[in-house]
């Protein structure tokens, strides 16, 4: 299985179909660097890598590197798909299979995760991108998000993260000239949105649907800035999808030929929304039942926990997206869903979750491990 350097959601779906049909061998050949990572594309590739790794007994990663030098490996784990690959595989080798780089890659990946978690590290940032990864099976947790005790680590409180996520995760991906028109309230709302979605991974993605701690658990949140031309979007995003139609309506700013987006992606390697809520595998559900379960996760006061304080966050997601003309993509289980902005929706209305092609009835997709939520918000000065 060979991934190309240009990452798109369509690329991910193509390989997921082959993986589901058992057409692919156990090895995954991944480029050291991505030539292009289109809006939401790298996040989709991350979910593909996680699904591939969890479908194999001993996943072997092949890196498109000649000699397996530290420079090549550091370039690889300097990208989001690289660091996730390093913690997902059991064996890592150079692309010809001659040099085993497993231990060195894992060591560099641990160092990279620690750099990203340290706000004072000069090596953490790479342009208008901010990243945070939690590798539960390696006991690696971002101290910006977690607090450790003698016995366990805990997600910091909402009050603590209300400042941390906007400052450390959201703002670094917004160019300075946009920060003055992207108000502090906007940033706080996006931070609250990201917190709710990441909290969901902490509560539901570290164990299987029946409560067993997962052997491998990788969760993350990253934001990145995209500046692309409408022509590029037209060529790389399928027009027949709801996302394609959403993008086609966005126009460049005055005196600009390109459109600027803020992407916030939250992913995990857990059992997915439907299995968590219904406490059974998706193989025991019809597609309609799975869709209903995922839809229920977006309704107020619905939660797998018997606590009225849980399950209130996801309707807030839709409220914020509507105010900022944003778009939400959700990939979980056999479903690919979305929420388009709805200016007519009332406050706290149940979000209108539809298939990614825009139909009310879900279309079955190749199954994925974990859940991926990608939020797209256009950045426009005027």
Report, as an integer, the average pLDDT of 97-111: 93
pLDDT at residue number 257: 85
pLDDT at residue number 270: 96
Q: Cα separation of 111 and 66, whole Å?
A: 22
Banded model confidence at residue 136, pLDDT cuts 50, 70, 90: very high
Least confident of 93-97, 121-125, 140-144, 267-271: 121-125
> Where does the chain show beta strands of DSSP type E?
6-7, 27-30, 36-37, 60-63, 91-94, 129-135, 146-148, 153-155, 218-228, 259-267, 327-333, 335-339, 354-355, 368-378
pLDDT at residue number 305: 53
**How many residues does the structure list for the chain?**
382
Banded model confidence at residue 264, pLDDT cuts 50, 70, 90: very high
Q: What are phi and psi of 38, to 5 degrees?
A: -75, 170
At 214-230, the pLDDT tens digits run 999 999 998 998 888 87
* Residue 56: pLDDT over 50: yes
| Order of strands, sheet of 129-135, starting from the edge strand that comes earlier in the sequence | 129-135, 218-228, 259-267, 368-378, 327-333, 335-339, 354-355
Mean pLDDT, the chain, integer: 84
3-state helix, strand, coil in the chain (%, to 5): 40, 20, 40
**Residue 142 vs residue 318, higher pLDDT:** 142
* Residue 33: pLDDT over 80: no
Banded model confidence at residue 301, pLDDT cuts 50, 70, 90: very low
pLDDT at residue number 101: 94
Q: Are 75 and 109 in contact (CB under 8 A)?
A: no
Among 9-18, 136-145, 266-275, 295-304, which range has the highest average pLDDT? 266-275
Report, as an integer, the average pLDDT of 358-378: 92
6: β partners = 36
Among 74-88, 246-260, 296-310, which range has the highest average pLDDT? 74-88
Report, as an integer, the average pLDDT of 162-179: 83
pLDDT at residue number 163: 79
* Residue 300: pLDDT over 60: no
Please name the helix (run of DSSP H) or strand (run of DSSP E) that holds residue 48, with its range, or none: helix 41-54
Q: What are phi and psi of 282, to 5 degrees?
A: -65, -20
Q: Are 270 and 214 in contact (CB under 8 A)?
A: yes
Q: Cα separation of 76 and 145, whole Å?
A: 25
Using CA atoms of 78, 81, 84, 88 in order, give the dihedral in degrees to the nearest 10: -130
SS3 380: coil
At 238-260, the pLDDT tens digits run 667 888 888 888 888 788 888 88
Q: Are 138 and 110 in contact (CB under 8 A)?
A: yes
pLDDT at residue number 308: 45
pLDDT at residue number 121: 66
User: Which residues, 6 or more positions from 26, have their beta carbon under 8 angstroms from its beta carbon?
Assistant: 56, 58, 59, 60
* Residue 303: pLDDT over 80: no
Banded model confidence at residue 302, pLDDT cuts 50, 70, 90: very low
Q: Are 51 and 17 in contact (CB under 8 A)?
A: no
């Amino acid at each position: 299985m060979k991934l190309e350097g240009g990452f798109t959601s369509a690329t991910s779906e193509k390989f997921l179909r082959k993986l589901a049909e058992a057409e692919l061998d156990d090895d995954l050949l991944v480029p050291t660097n991505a030539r292009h990572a289109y809006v939401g594309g790298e996040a989709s590739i991350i979910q593909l890598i996680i699904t591939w790794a969890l479908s194999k007994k001993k996943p072997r990663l092949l890196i498109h590197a000649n000699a397996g030098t530290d420079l090549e490996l550091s370039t690889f784990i300097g990208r989001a798909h690289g660091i996730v690959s390093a913690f997902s595989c059991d064996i890592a080798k150079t692309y010809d299979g001659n040099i085993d780089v497993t231990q060195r890659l894992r060591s560099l990946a641990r160092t990279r995760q620690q750099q990203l978690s340290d706000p004072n590290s000069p090596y953490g940032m790479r342009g208008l991108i901010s990243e945070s990864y939690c590798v539960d099976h390696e006991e690696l947790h971002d101290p910006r998000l977690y607090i450790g005790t003698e016995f366990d680590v805990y997600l910091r409180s909402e009050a603590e993260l209300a400042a941390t996520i906007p400052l450390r995760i959201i703002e670094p991906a917004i160019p300075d000239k946009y920060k003055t028109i992207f108000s502090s309230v906007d940033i706080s709302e996006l931070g609250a949105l990201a917190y709710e979605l990441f909290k969901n991974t902490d509560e539901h993605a570290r164990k299987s649907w029946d409560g067993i701690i997962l052997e491998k658990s990788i969760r993350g949140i990253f934001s990145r800035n995209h500046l692309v031309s409408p022509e590029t979007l037209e060529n790389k995003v399928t027009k027949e999808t709801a996302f394609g139609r959403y993008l086609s309506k966005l126009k460049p700013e005055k005196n600009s030929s390109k459109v600027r987006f803020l992407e916030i992606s939250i992913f995990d390697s857990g059992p997915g929304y439907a299995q968590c809520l219904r406490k059974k595998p998706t193989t025991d559900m019809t597609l309609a039942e799975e869709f209903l379960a995922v839809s229920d996760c977006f309704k107020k006061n619905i939660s797998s926990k018997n606590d009225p304080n849980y399950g209130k966050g996801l309707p807030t997601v839709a409220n914020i997206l509507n105010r900022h003309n944003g778009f939400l993509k959700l990939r979980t289980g056999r479903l690919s869903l979305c929420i388009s902005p709805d200016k007519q929706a009332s406050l706290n209305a149940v979000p209108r979750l539809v298939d990614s092609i825009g139909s009310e009835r879900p279309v079955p997709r190749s199954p994925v491990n974990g859940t991926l939520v990608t939020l797209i918000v256009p950045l426009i000065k005027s």
